[in-house]
Amino acid sequence: MSSKNIEKHLVGQPVFKQIIDLMPRNKFDLLVSSHKSDRYYKTFDSWTQLMTMLFGILSRCDSMGEICDGMQALAGKLNHLGLGAAPAKSTAGDGLRGRDNEFFREVYFMLLKHFNPLLSVSRIDNVSFSKLFIFDSSTIRLFSDVMKGVGRNPKHEGKKKGGLKVHMMIDAHSDTPTFVKISEAKQHDKNFLQYLQLAAHSMIVFDRAYNHYQQFARWTQQQINFVCRLKSNAVYQVVETLFSQDLQNGEPGVLKEEHIHLTYKDGKQEKPLCLRKVTYRDDKKRVYEFITNNFEISRQEVALLYKLRWNIELLFKKLKQNFQLHYFYSETENGIKTQIWCTLIAQLLMQVLRVKSESKKAFSTIAALVRMHLISNLEVFWMIANSRRTYSRKKKRNKSPCLQTVMF
């Protein structure tokens, strides 16, 4: 026989409060002072707005009305969060319209810097770059004309959806965004490469949508490495074939390595760009052509680096599946951007929670546990470690011979 282990580790504060305590309040208050973000607000200060947004995002509320009603039901537990009372829906809506989203952007990057020593411990195997970044964007559709969307115009009298793009660069080793820029969805991706600030000898990986030869030339001069896919219609000259092999029976691996020259315009002049092209076939017999300005790393590492680009797709998937990015709490551009920044703050806190708990559970599992036990008084790290019921084994007792049934 076995018995259920129902021992619970209860503490005096709800899970939400324990997560909030991970943030350095003194650094937050310094940002409030420098931005003067509380100047025009008597009751709905910056901390109250952040708590309101995080409560809605972590509990996946669909509207500001749901958030305010849910916080109202918390009653006495609000004092744990440093709040006197639940905000009114109109007050919270005014905060989303009025308080500059740049303040929450600064809060996110302050937290990223604060948690960096904890998150930057891990390293990806077989990668020779300590500074490895992945850049991509994701489109979020809006049922609003606040920000212009992309796609075909609807037939008849249908209304075209609005949309925004989140352009993001992540540190591949710590799996955290280090650069984020929010724009209208209609803007072209490659225009955002100019905003990236990269150190010499770092490596950045991105898709072929970001092919920008002039930017590639600048990075080469600055000793910044990159790997991306070559566009199918690219015009180039093969200078030398460095490696070639025939792989039998669809075996995956590097098929060819070439030294190529592309041309780009610098003002009115055309200049050559010296690159390395690696042709690779994966285990599904798909052939890829990668280009890089690094001639020192192995052919296999070039293919591995591009394969790691999928990590940013997984991060976008985490954000969209585990947090509320299907419904927005405001129809203003400032309110929408504020919700994006607060969602990134929530994601960062969940990542910190996962690292500190040393858990191997999936990110989605931890996010779901937090959502279900947000106002429970369970100890948060015990909750993550003991999310499944455990059973304690007891020794089997030998049955008495007189109780045994004799079969004839």
User: What's the pLDDT tens digit per position in 276-326?
Assistant: 999 999 999 999 999 999 999 999 999 999 999 999 999 999 888 898 787
pLDDT range class, residue 265, cuts 50, 70, 90: confident
**pLDDT on residue 148:** 55
What is the model's pTM? Answer: 0.84
Cβ contacts of residue 223 below 8 Å, gap of 6+?
200, 201
C-alpha to C-alpha distance for 250 and 284, rounded to whole angstroms = 8
Distance CA 82, CA 85 (A): 9
Quote the pLDDT of residue 221.
Answer: 94
Above pLDDT 70, what percent of the chain?
87
**Please, is 328 exposed, middle or buried when counting C-beta atoms within 10 Å of its C-beta (0-12, 13-18, 19+)?**
buried
Mean pLDDT of the chain, nearest integer: 86
Residue 55 phi/psi, 5° resolution?
-60, -45
DSSP state of 378: B
Are the CB atoms for 56 and 49 separated by under 8 Å? no
DSSP state of 186: T
With a pLDDT cut of 90, the percent of the chain lying above it is: 57
Q: What is the DSSP string of 77-105?
A: GGGGGT-SSPPPHHHHHHHHHHS-HHHHH
Q: State the average pLDDT over residues 333-361.
A: 92
* Element spanning 385, H or E: helix 380-385
The 10s digit of each residue's pLDDT in 36-67 is 999 888 888 999 999 999 999 999 998 999 99
pLDDT digit string, tens, across residues 184-198? 877 777 778 888 999
Q: Where are the alpha helices (DSSP H) in 323-379?
A: 333-357, 363-372
Q: How many residues does the chain have?
A: 408
The phi and psi torsions of 392 (rounded to 5 degrees) equal -95, 130
What tens digit of pLDDT does each residue of 96-128 get? 999 999 999 999 999 999 999 998 877 888 899
Look at residues 313, 381, 359, 345 and name the one whose alpha carbon lies nearest to residue 115. 345
Among 83-87, 242-246, 343-347, the range scoring the smallest mean pLDDT is 83-87
Beta bridge partners of 256: 244, 279
